[in-house]
Chains A and B, each alone.
Chain A
Amino acid sequence: MQTTLKTTAAPIDLPQLDLHKRRRPHEIIIQAFLFACGIISIFVTLGIVFVLFQESLRFFGSGEVNLIEFLTGTTWQPAIGEFGILPLFLSTIITSLIGMLVALPLGLAVAIYLSEYASPRARGILKPILEVLAGIPTVVYGYFALTFMTPLLRSLFGADTVQIYNMASGGIVIGILIIPLIASMSEDALSAVPRSLREGAYGLGATKLETSLKIVVPAALSGISAAVIVGISRAVGETMVVALSVGAGPKLTFNPFESAETMTGHIVRISGGDLSYDSIDYNSIFSIALFLFVITFLLNLISRFVVQRFREVYD
């Protein structure tokens, strides 16, 4: 039938076939624009690194301090020429550690609840609240630490033990601040675990808890680890909370109820004062910032490594 149709039909004039390359200027423009956007973010990063190194070089080149003293000194007192970063570093570690102790269990619990247990309705209510929590300005968290957490700690442990400015209060509030980050990143990782794995577990007679903790969480471990490391970076870099609630003077102490000053807190306080350009104090805060940058950069590298190393391909 088809063949008879073809022969009887009159030949139709087709427009001449043209396979020549065509110019599509809008494609080129878009491509150039997107490329520029990508390049800018790289240049901004490089620019920051450049400035940090440049100013830090001035600091170390001043002859007043060398790298060894900087990394191992236990006193940070620019006024008398003591630039040992340890007190600042230790206080950063303590506040971050307290923060992670709060954020990790709570964030993970929230994530498991949202991904495995919550009804669609409960999730619909809880997730936006969590996002609101993530959107609160950190300065608010800072005053929350100062005017709520500190009095709470003082009433629990006594006003003699807990100083008005202390690391514990700042650390706990940093933890609260990071919960939404850990929870939402971990929840993404948990939700990405295919349903078929859960069904496999249920089909063997596993309970919901067994399925969640022994199948889903291990399968999502790489994503959860990444969440934790991003959380640590966030805790280490958090500034406003510690500037407001932890204290205003570097002090080498392991006691979380004492006041101290973190690296970020110190940078804020010093740069808030009137420092002359290229003074040793001014340059010193760039060296702290560089140190901070190296820490977060290393954490990012670790997180990349962890994600690749422990990635469980479940498809």
Chain B
Amino acid sequence: MSTFELSAQPREQTMMRETEAVAAVAAGAAGTFAIEATDVNIFYGQFRAVKDVSLQIQKNKITALIGPSGCGKSTMLRAFNRMNDLVSTARIAGEVLFHGRNLYAREVDPVEVRRKIGMVFQKPNPFPKSIYENVLWGAKINGFKGKADDLVEQSLRQAALWDEVKDKLKQSGLSLSGGQQQRLCIARTIATRPEIILMDEPCSALDPIATLKIEDLMRELVEKYTIIIVTHNMQQAARVSDYTAFFNMEQDRAGYLVEYDDTKKIFTNPKDQRTEDYVTGRFG
């Protein structure tokens, strides 16, 4: 029992306002952002899942959203391409600006949003179709008219999967290993030529080697795309991301942004005590 008491250090209550944390990053960044959330609140029915989050995402960088389970980081990620619309009880307040336009404005079509802002999911979810069709499907429904073979090869190459599957493009996407399936999902997303790729814990179902492959791939992709990744794995956030946003929640379970900064700073010299406690493994 005594050891428990020892570990319960008095916590500093330096409650820095979320807006200040954001301002710190915003001040350092010149130019426009890839996407920008302002005062976003997300509700599931009566329950508030995300509270007053403002977040500016840098172009051609990897931004990691980290935090304990249930802190709303996945919900926040899904707010960037209106995936939350698929949950009938979900409701959002605030603005998400993309090319200067609010994605939640009345006249915006969520389908068009998702064509520009693609998503890779936690569990690899290739369609029960051939590898070839998997890559082509999204592009085709987006009105792709060019040479299909070229697009498939190009996308698979970009996803670092081409060499492994070039001889079996007609096989089912489900015949691949988990890591290959996830890269197929990335290829499928790339084929629709999005600007931003959202990744919701893309490696949580993968083994360490497959995980490293995906991380390498992300570093390559970020030259062309902006990537936002939600991850439970702090080493992964530290390894792969340029910026890190730390989310936390209180008793009401509403997630809020604690600190947002260069990944290096978050992991070596965070401003907020809660961030430090989290990244050093004291909770979460």
Contacts and interface: CB of A to CB of B under 8 A. Distances in A.
A218 interface: yes
Given A214-B137, A313-B174, A314-B174, A204 B128 contact: no
Contact of A205 (B88, B114, B123): B114
Contacts of A2: none
Contact of B88 (A119, A207, A210, A215): A119
Chain A interface residue number, banded: 20 to 34
Nearest to A210: B141
Interface stretch (A175-183, A195-203, A252-260, A286-294): A195-203
A206 B114 CA distance: 8
A195 to B, nearest CB: 9
B75 interface: no
Contacts of B114: 202-205
Nearest to B172: A312
Interface in B117-133: 118-121, 123, 125-129
B24 interface: no
Contacts of A207: 111, 141
A200 B126 CA distance: 8
Contacts of A314: 128, 174
A205 B111 contact: yes
A214 B120 CA distance: 19
Interface string A87-130: 00000000000000000000000000000000110000000000
Contacts of A204: 114-115, 118, 137-138, 141-142, 188-189, 192
Interface string A221-233: 0000000000000
Q: From DSSP, what is the main secondary structure of chain A's interface residues?
A: helix
Interface in B24-64: none
B76 interface: no
B65 to A, nearest CB: 17
B111 A200 contact: no
Contacts of B83: 199, 202-203
Given A204-B137, A314-B128, A199 B174 contact: no
A164 interface: no
A214 B126 CA distance: 14
A312 B125 contact: no
A200 B125 contact: yes
A200 B185 contact: yes
Nearest to A196: B125
Interface string B69-103: 00000000000010100101000000000000000
Contact of A199 (B111, B115, B121, B172): B121
A219 interface: yes
Interface residues of B, number: 30
A203 B128 contact: no
Given A199-B86, A199-B121, A205-B114, A214 B141 contact: yes
Contacts of A205: 111-116, 118, 138, 141-142, 192
A149 B203 CA distance: 59
In this complex, the member of A202, A204, A218 whose beta carbon has the largest number of chain B beta carbons within 10 angstroms is A204
A214 B140 CA distance: 12
Nearest to A211: B141
Given A196-B123, A214-B137, A314-B174, A202 B86 contact: yes
A219 B188 contact: no
B174 A203 contact: no
B128 A219 contact: yes
A204 B83 CA distance: 11
Given A204-B118, A205-B141, A218 B128 contact: yes
Contacts of A199: 83, 86, 119, 121, 125
Contacts of A196: 121, 123, 125
Contact of B111 (A120, A206, A214, A219): A206
Contacts of A202: 83, 86, 114
Nearest to B119: A203
Nearest to A197: B125
Contact of A197 (B112, B127, B188): B127
29 contacts: A119-B88, A197-B125, A197-B127, A197-B128, A198-B86, A199-B119, A200-B127, A202-B86, A203-B81, A203-B83, A203-B114, A203-B119, A203-B189, A204-B114, A204-B118, A204-B188, A204-B189, A205-B111, A205-B112, A205-B113, A205-B115, A205-B142, A205-B192, A206-B138, A206-B141, A207-B111, A207-B141, A219-B127, A219-B128
Q: A-B pairs with the 8 shortest C-beta distances?
A: A205-B115, A204-B138, A203-B119, A312-B128, A196-B125, A205-B114, A200-B125, A314-B128
Interface of B: 81, 83, 86, 88, 111-116, 118-121, 123, 125-129, 137-138, 141-142, 172, 174, 185, 188-189, 192
Given A203-B119, A206-B138, A312-B128, 5 more contacts: A203-B81, A203-B83, A203-B121, A204-B138, A218-B128
